[in-house]
Chains A and B, each alone.
Chain A
Amino acid sequence: MTTATKSIAAPAYSTGASSTNDTSSALRFITCGSVDDGKSTLIGRLLVDSKAVLQDQLANVSKSGEADLALFTDGLSAEREQGITIDVAYRYFATPTRKFIIGDAPGHEQYTRNMVTAASSAHAAVVLVDATKLKWNVDGLVDLLPQTRRHSLLVNLLRVPGIIFAVNKLDALGDDATAAFAKISEALQAFAQQAGITVTATIPMSALKGHNVVEATPDWCGYQGPSLLALLETLPVTAAETDVPFAFPVQWVEKFHNSADTSQGRRVFWGRVATGTVQVGDTISIHPSGQTAVVAQVVNHARVPGSIAAGHGAGITLDREVDVSRGDWLLAQVTPAADPDDEFADTPKPRAFAEATREIKATVAWMDDEPLIAGRVYLALHGHRWIKAKVKRIVHSLDINTLQEHDATEIAPNAIGHIELALQEAITAVPYAQSRVLGSLILVDTASHKTSGALLLG
C-alpha cells in the first residue's frame, strides 16, 4: 500500500504544453445514432467490461441475475417509462492509461439539441449503426437511417475530430454478418465521402455480446483492427488553435482595492486564451475600443506566472490604464502579413485578423421548438459578449438525406441551414474551421431566454 501511495506525486504545472497526442488528458467522447441502435447498451458494456461499474449499481439494473446494460444510463423516470434517452448522461471511467468522459447522447430527432450539447465539447464521436434495421435494396446496397446521417453531419460540422462508425448488432445476422458489414461499410464510406467526413474507423460490433467493445474479436466479420476501447485509448485530444493570432475574451475583471496590490498597479483581466499564445511584452489591441497596450504580466489560471497557450486560463495585466470590461476581447495587434516575395523574411508572421464586422454568415444548428424566422432579433453570445443579432436572410436549409441545399423561409427545429445576420455591434469574426471560440456563437430567444441556435461562422 505504501509503495503505491508514493507514486501519486504532485506534478509540476506546465504552461503552454500542447495537448495534441497527450493521452494523459481525459478523452471526452460521445455516443450517438438512431433510437435503439444500442448506445446505452454499448456504454453499459464499456463500463461493465472495463470494470467501472460497482456492485450496487450492477444490482440496481439486474433482473433475475442478468444485467440490463441499457439501464445504467437512462437516469430520468421519463426515460425509463418510455425506454428512450431524452438528455445527455455523462459517465466516467478510467483504464490504466486514460480517463474517459462519455456523453451518452439521445437518438430521437426531437432531442437533437441535447446531442449537439454533448458534441460541442467532444474529442471523438462513436456513431452507432444498427445492422438489423437497414433496408436492403435490390441492387444489394443499403440506405442509412436519417439519424445516422444527421448525427454524422452534426459531429462533422462541430469539428469533432475522431468519427468512429460502430456497426452494431451484427451478431443477430448470423452467417450473413460478414457480408452485411462489408455492405454497410461501403454505404457509410460513400456517405462520408459525399459529406466530406473523415472517418477514423468503422468497427463491426456486438454491444450485447461484447464483440470488439473492450476486447478485440479477431477475424469476426473480417475485421482485424483494434477494439473500440483500444482505439479510444490512442486518439488524440483536440489540438489547441495556436496558428491563429492571440485572441482572448475577457471573462472577469479583478479590481484591487488593497493598497498592497498597487505595486502591480492595475486590474487583472481573466479568461481563457481562445487562440494563439500570450507573453509579457506582446502588444495587443482591445476590441471594440481599438486602444492598444503592452502585456505587463501573464499568470495561469492558478496565478502562476508564465506564457499561456490557447485553451488555457490566463490572467493578464497591461502596462497602462485602459478601459477594458467583461465581454471585450484582447487581440494580437494587427500586423501586416509577411511579403511573400521577401526572401529575407525569416519567420512567417501569423495572419492578421480581418476587420471587425457587423455582417456575418453562419451555418446554424437550430435547437428551439419554434422555427428560426428571417427578420427576428435574437440575443447572441460571442465569447463573453452579448450582442443583438437580426436574421437578415435565410440562405438555404440542408436536406440531410440528399445533402442538397434548398431555398427556405424558416429553419425548422433540429434542422441545419445557412443564414446571414446583422449584428448590433461588430465582432472579430474567424471561420469556425479556424477557431472554435472566435467562430462560434449561440442565439438566445429574447422572450423565452431559451438557447435556440448554435452558429458556426462560415
Chain B
Amino acid sequence: MNAMTEPTHFDRLSNLHLDALEEETIFILREVAAAFERPALLFSGGKDSLVMLKCAEKAFGVGRIPYPLLMIDTGHNFHEVTDFRDFRAKELGAELIVRSVEDSMARGTVRLAHPGESRNVHQSVTLLEAIDEFRFDALIGGARRDEEKARAKERIFSHRDSFGQWQPKAQRPELWTLFNTRLQPGEHFRVFPISNWTELDVWQYIEREKIALPSLYYTHKRDVVERKGLLVPVTDLTPAKEGETIESRDVRFRTVGDITCTCPVESLAANAADIVIETLAADVSERGATRMDDKTSEASMEKRKKDGYF
C-alpha cells in the first residue's frame, strides 16, 4: 500500500503544480525554436509525446509548430499507435518524417544477432542516420527523469558529440535557465522539456487537458501469457511459448513502444481519471511493470544512451 492511496489524500489531490510544469515545458519548446536552426520533435504517438505536442500547440498556436515531427519506426509498433500518430500529425498540419529500422537493415547498417532480436536498441542507428540526413541540430524527446536511474541524471539540454554519444561524466553544468546551446559541427543536442514530470503528472495533465490517446492506453481484452511476472501480449511477433497458457484478460498499456518489449498491466481503467487513481495506488514503476528489455542489466539504459539512444 502506498501512502498516497490513503483516502484523505484523494480529496486534496491538487493539480495546481501542472501549471508550473506546463510553463517550464513551453519555455523550453520555445527556446529550442529560437536557439537551433534545424530542430525536430521526436513523436511516437505515445502519451509523453502527445503531452509534449499539446504544450507545443499552446506554445506556438495551432498549426504553427515550427519543427517537423520525427518518428523512428522499428516496424514492430502497435498499429493503433502509428495510426494515431498519423492522425494527430495531419490534424495539426505538422510535417511528419518517418525513418525505419528496416531501411537501416536493408542498407546493412543494422544487423540483428538473430531474427527474433528486439529492434528497440537498433533505433539508435536509424536515429543517427536521420540526424545525418536532415542535419538536425536538436532533437526534442519526451523522456522523463522519473522513468529510470540514468534518465534521472540527464540535463534538460543534453549535449551529444559527433558520434551521437552522451558523456555522463562530462555533462555541461546547467545553471538557472541559461542554456548553453553552443555546438561544434556534427554535434547535436537532445532536449527534454518534460524532464520534471512524473507518470502521475502526465496522467493528471491528460485528464485536465482532455488529451486524446491511442485506445491501447485504456482497458481492453487481450490475449496474454504470464512470463517472469509480466503479462506478455500474444502477437505474431511474441507468440506463446510451449507450455504457456493463453488467457484473455482486461489490460491496458502504461507505456507503448516496440511490441517485442512492451507489456500491458491488468486494469479496468477506462479513462484518464481512472488511471490517475490507479497510478496513485501503483506499487510497481512504469518500467518495472512493462519493459522486458530493461531487466537485463542495471546499466542497460545508460549504455544505450551512450550509444546514441534517446
- B67 close to A (CB within 8 Å): no
Within 8 A of A (CB), among B119-152: 145-146, 148-152
Output the residue of A4, A13, A113, A253 with the most chain B CB within 10 A: A4
A270 contacts which of B4, B30, B198, B208 (Cβ < 8 Å)? Answer: B30
> Whole-angstrom distance between the alpha carbons of A95 and B13 in the complex?
10
A257 CB to nearest B CB, Å: 10
> Whole-angstrom distance between the alpha carbons of A202 and B100 in the complex?
57
Within 8 A of A (CB), among B1-42: 1-4, 6-17, 19-20, 22-23, 26-27, 30-31, 33-34
In chain A, what residue has the closest Cβ to B6? A96
Is there an interface contact between B169 and A86, defined as CB atoms closer than 8 Å?
Answer: yes
> Whole-angstrom distance between the alpha carbons of A239 and B273 in the complex?
33
A89 contacts which of B152, B176, B298 (Cβ < 8 Å)? Answer: B152
Is there an interface contact between B168 and A272, defined as CB atoms closer than 8 Å?
Answer: no
Residues of chain A whose beta carbon lies under 8 Å from any beta carbon of chain B: 1, 3-5, 7-8, 10-11, 13, 24-26, 50-51, 54-57, 60, 73-78, 80, 86-92, 94-97, 99, 101, 113-114, 116-117, 120-121, 251-254, 270, 272, 301-303, 312-313, 326, 367, 379, 381, 384, 436-437, 440-442, 444, 449-451, 454
A28 CB to nearest B CB, Å: 9
A52 CB to nearest B CB, Å: 8
- B174 close to A (CB within 8 Å): yes
Give B157-178 as 1s and 0s: 1 = Cβ < 8 Å from A's Cβ atoms. Answer: 0000000000011011111111
Beyond A50-B3, A73-B149, list 5 extra A-B contacts (CB 8 Å): A251-B31, A272-B177, A301-B27, A301-B59, A436-B176
Beyond A25-B20, A75-B149, A75-B150, whether A302 also contacts B168 by CB under 8 A is no
Complex interface: chain B residues within 8 A of A116 (CB) = 173, 175
> Whole-angstrom distance between the alpha carbons of A335 and B194 in the complex?
40
- B234 close to A (CB within 8 Å): no
Is there an interface contact between B27 and A313, defined as CB atoms closer than 8 Å?
Answer: yes
Beyond A86-B168, A114-B173, whether A8 also contacts B15 by CB under 8 A is yes
> Whole-angstrom distance between the alpha carbons of A273 and B61 in the complex?
20
A90 contacts which of B60, B180, B196 (Cβ < 8 Å)? Answer: B196
In chain B, what residue has the closest Cβ to A449? B182
In chain B, what residue has the closest Cβ to A77? B299
> Whole-angstrom distance between the alpha carbons of A57 and B232 in the complex?
21
B176 contacts which of A50, A51, A437 (Cβ < 8 Å)? Answer: A437
> Whole-angstrom distance between the alpha carbons of A441 and B179 in the complex?
11
A443 CB to nearest B CB, Å: 10
Is there an interface contact between A8 and B276, defined as CB atoms closer than 8 Å?
Answer: yes
A414 CB to nearest B CB, Å: 11
The 10 A-B pairs at the shortest CB distance, nearest first, are namely A75-B149, A56-B288, A4-B10, A51-B3, A5-B273, A252-B34, A77-B299, A449-B182, A120-B175, A113-B173
Write 22 A-B pairs (CB below 8 A) sorted by A numbering.
Answer: A4-B7, A4-B277, A8-B15, A8-B208, A25-B20, A54-B288, A76-B299, A96-B6, A96-B8, A116-B175, A117-B173, A117-B174, A120-B175, A252-B31, A301-B27, A312-B23, A384-B34, A442-B175, A444-B180, A449-B184, A450-B172, A451-B180
Q: How many residues of B contact A (CB 8 A)?
A: 75
Complex interface: chain A residues within 8 A of B285 (CB) = 54, 56-57
> Whole-angstrom distance between the alpha carbons of A125 and B182 in the complex?
30
> Whole-angstrom distance between the alpha carbons of A105 and B266 in the complex?
38
Is there an interface contact between A301 and B173, defined as CB atoms closer than 8 Å?
Answer: no
Is there an interface contact between A7 and B11, defined as CB atoms closer than 8 Å?
Answer: yes
A232 CB to nearest B CB, Å: 15
- B284 close to A (CB within 8 Å): yes
Complex interface: chain A residues within 8 A of B12 (CB) = 7, 96-97
Output the residue of A57, A301, A367 with the most chain B CB within 10 A: A301
Is there an interface contact between B146 and A442, defined as CB atoms closer than 8 Å?
Answer: no
In chain B, what residue has the closest Cβ to A91? B152
> Whole-angstrom distance between the alpha carbons of A436 and B13 in the complex?
32
Complex interface: chain B residues within 8 A of A8 (CB) = 13, 15, 204, 207-208, 273, 276
In chain A, what residue has the closest Cβ to B155? A117
Within 8 A of A (CB), among B265-288: 273-274, 276-277, 282-285, 287-288
B178 contacts which of A51, A301, A326, A442 (Cβ < 8 Å)? Answer: A442
B180 contacts which of A7, A302, A381 (Cβ < 8 Å)? Answer: A381
Is there an interface contact between B178 and A381, defined as CB atoms closer than 8 Å?
Answer: yes
Is there an interface contact between A24 and B17, defined as CB atoms closer than 8 Å?
Answer: yes
Complex interface: chain B residues within 8 A of A92 (CB) = 145-146, 196, 198
In chain A, what residue has the closest Cβ to B198? A92
